[in-house]
């Protein structure tokens, strides 16, 4: 997992060419925001999910992890905590991977809590189990772009 400011996002573009495309989309979104929803940017290889929500307590939430996609989660307004743990330390509670999906849910203890404020992002790779949308102190209204970047097989 990587967490950094959006000002530094370009540093990570050598990891995947879609990271640069995500930076371009963020710049365009800040000038002309889109409604909540999923927007294809390159078919199922690269798309963005626009989200607006209020953060809430960590209580009752489960870790999620993906196999096919990298998550690039960019907070444009508000703040939140993302709980993180390595996948191998958690207990699976759903079988979505075996059903062909790209998400499965887990229970276990977090190893780290990443605080994302306005203008920050997290880059989460397969194996990075995470719980997003957790309140950092008091609940806050968040505007977040979640880019899904398909891993090449």
User: Tens of pLDDT along 3-27?
Assistant: 999 999 999 999 999 999 999 999 9
The per-residue pLDDT for 104 is: 87
Q: Give the 3-state secondary structure of residue 9.
A: helix
Cβ pair 53, 94 in contact under 8 A:
no
Summary mean pLDDT of the chain: 94
Q: Please check the confidence at residue 125 and state whether its pLDDT lies above 90.
A: yes
Determine the topology of domain 2-150 in CATH: Jelly Rolls (2.60.120)
What are the respective helix, strand and coil percentages of the chain, to the nearest 5? 20, 50, 30
Q: Please check the confidence at residue 77 and state whether its pLDDT lies above 90.
A: yes
Q: Please check the confidence at residue 153 and state whether its pLDDT lies above 70.
A: no
Domain boundaries, the chain: 2-150
Residues in Cβ contact with 140 at an 8 Å cutoff, skipping those fewer than 6 apart: 54, 55, 78, 79, 80
Check residue 111 and report its DSSP letter. Answer: S
Maximum CA extent, the chain: 42
What is the tens place of the pLDDT at every residue in 91-113?
888 766 656 678 889 999 999 99
The Cα–Cα gap between 13 and 24 comes to 12
Q: Please check the confidence at residue 152 and state whether its pLDDT lies above 90.
A: no
Cβ pair 61, 107 in contact under 8 A:
no
The per-residue pLDDT for 51 is: 98
What is the tens place of the pLDDT at every residue in 31-68?
999 999 999 999 999 999 999 999 999 999 999 999 89
The per-residue pLDDT for 99 is: 66
Q: Please check the confidence at residue 119 and state whether its pLDDT lies above 90.
A: yes
């Amino acid at each position: 997992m990587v967490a950094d400011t959006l000002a530094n996002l370009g540093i990570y573009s050598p990891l995947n060419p879609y990271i640069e495309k995500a930076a371009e989309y963020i710049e365009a979104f800040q000038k002309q925001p889109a409604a909540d929803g999923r927007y294809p940017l390159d078919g199922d290889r690269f798309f963005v999910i626009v989200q607006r929500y209020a953060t809430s307590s960590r209580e009752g939430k489960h870790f999620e992890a993906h196999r096919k996609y990298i998550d690039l989660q960019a907070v444009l307004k508000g703040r939140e905590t993302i709980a993180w743990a390595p996948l191998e330390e958690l207990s699976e509670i759903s079988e979505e991977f075996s059903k062909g999906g790209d998400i499965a849910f887990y229970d276990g203890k977090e190893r780290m809590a990443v605080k994302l404020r306005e203008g920050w992002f997290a880059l989460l790779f397969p194996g990075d189990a995470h719980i997003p949308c957790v309140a950092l102190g008091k609940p806050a209204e968040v505007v977040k772009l979640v880019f899904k970047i398909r891993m090449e097989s």
